[in-house]
Amino acid sequence: MQAVRGTMADEPARGEEKTTEEPVWTVSGARLESVLDTAVDGIVVINDRMQVLAYNKACEHLFGYSVSEVLGRNVSMIMPAHYAAAHDGYVQHYLDTGEKRIIGIGREVAARHKDGTEFPVELSVGEAVTPDGRQFIGILRDLRPRKQIERSLAQAQAQLVHMTRISAIDEMGAAIAHELNQPLTAVLLYLQAVVRKSRDKSLLDAQMLGVIEKAMREAERAGEIIQRMRQLVEKREPERSDTDVAPFARSCVELVELGSADSGVSFQVRIDPDMPLVSMDPVQIRQVLVNLLRNAREAVSAAPVRQVSLHVTMDEGYAEFRVADSGPGVPKEVVPELFRAFSSQKRKGLGLGLAISRTIAQNHGGDLVLRQAAGKGATFVLRLPVECGIDSALAPDQ
């Protein structure tokens, strides 16, 4: 440590007896040097010309400069440029006016490492009047560890709030599912009664009867969806069955097309030949595909070319359902939050669609991902493993 050095004591006057005791300044200097070097925080002492007089080992670690590089130089070398340019003026203003801006008051400021990195420190400044003029003692505490803890705490709190909301929506979903079952059952019974009466007395023509039967099937499907959603909330396993993906995929597109007659959106379906059976819960996966197709339909609603396609293909043991659109694509700033609940960019809705869809895919051992290239719209890819379906299909021959 070369931070604090005294001057040699005068020789004793003639006739005075020399003492064997060490001069007081030496003991005091050694004690001060020890305190500086053992301090956890950085300590810098400067004079009224802003020259560094003391610089402890903690500062060497904090700033990357050795003591020999700093002593005697302007303290601004450990400050960012915008601080350094104004620092001498601040000190001179205090010397001229006595107006304190930081002396005796701790505050957060920026410091600069030897490699140019800027980082936050807490700075406390004291003043001492010495025979050599005014000196200023700065104590600097590295705030990076505290900032990291604060960031981690904020993230943990955000996750806690998010999980609390998810838990609340789980409970609400179970309650809604329970409540909706009753009116859905009533609607289904009424429709069944109308169909039976119409068939007995020929009250309706075949076309109207067909419409009512379709409505009855949709009511039944809605009941199945609610049951599956309850199972999802309760973390039950999907009710799998080996499914032929070709008619399944076409039926999903047909369901979305029903509400798109006046939208000007064209739907295309392409299914690779020789697709194997896929073991999946058809109710849950239908909901995923219908959600993706409806989102794609909305994405192209204002596009010059309004086109949505569903391509089903095989890729390394997975069946891939690729829903692509000709829309503007997903903005980059939205992508990181795309599959998180409550992060919808739509004016309506809670943003649960994609979050639940990915959960369903992952419960099947697959995934739901976004793939897009600049200027080519968005492509959502639902991946489902096909091993179980292949095994089931081969079972009779084994």
Q: What is the average pLDDT score of the chain?
A: 77
Give me the amino acid identity at 307. Q
Task: Assign 255 a pLDDT band (cuts: 50, 70, 90).
Answer: confident
First to last CA, the chain: 82
**What 3-state class would DSSP assign to 321?**
strand
Q: Each residue of 168-186: pLDDT tens digit?
A: 666 666 666 666 776 777 7
Residue 345 CA, chain-centre distance (Å), reads 16
pLDDT of the residue at 368:
93
For 75, residues 6+ apart whose C-beta sits below 8 A from its C-beta are 44, 46, 50, 51, 52, 87, 138
The arithmetic mean of pLDDT across residues 317-346, rounded, is 81
Residue 31: CB atoms within 10 A of its CB come to 10
Task: Assign 324 a pLDDT band (cuts: 50, 70, 90).
Answer: very high
pLDDT of the residue at 348:
41
d(CA 92, CA 136): 12
Sheet order of strands, 266-271 included: 266-271, 307-315, 318-325, 379-385, 367-371
pLDDT above 90: residue 383:
yes
pLDDT of the residue at 262:
67
Residue 195: CB atoms within 10 A of its CB come to 16
d(CA 355, CA 340): 5
Q: What angle do CA 129, 123, 75 make, to 5 degrees?
A: 65
d(CA 25, CA 51): 23
Half-sphere exposure of 68 (CA within 13 A, CB side): 0
Give me the amino acid identity at 169. I
* DSSP 8-state assignment for residue 103: B
Domains of the chain, CATH where assigned: 24-142 (3.30.450.20), 160-236 (1.10.287.130), 240-398 (3.30.565.10)
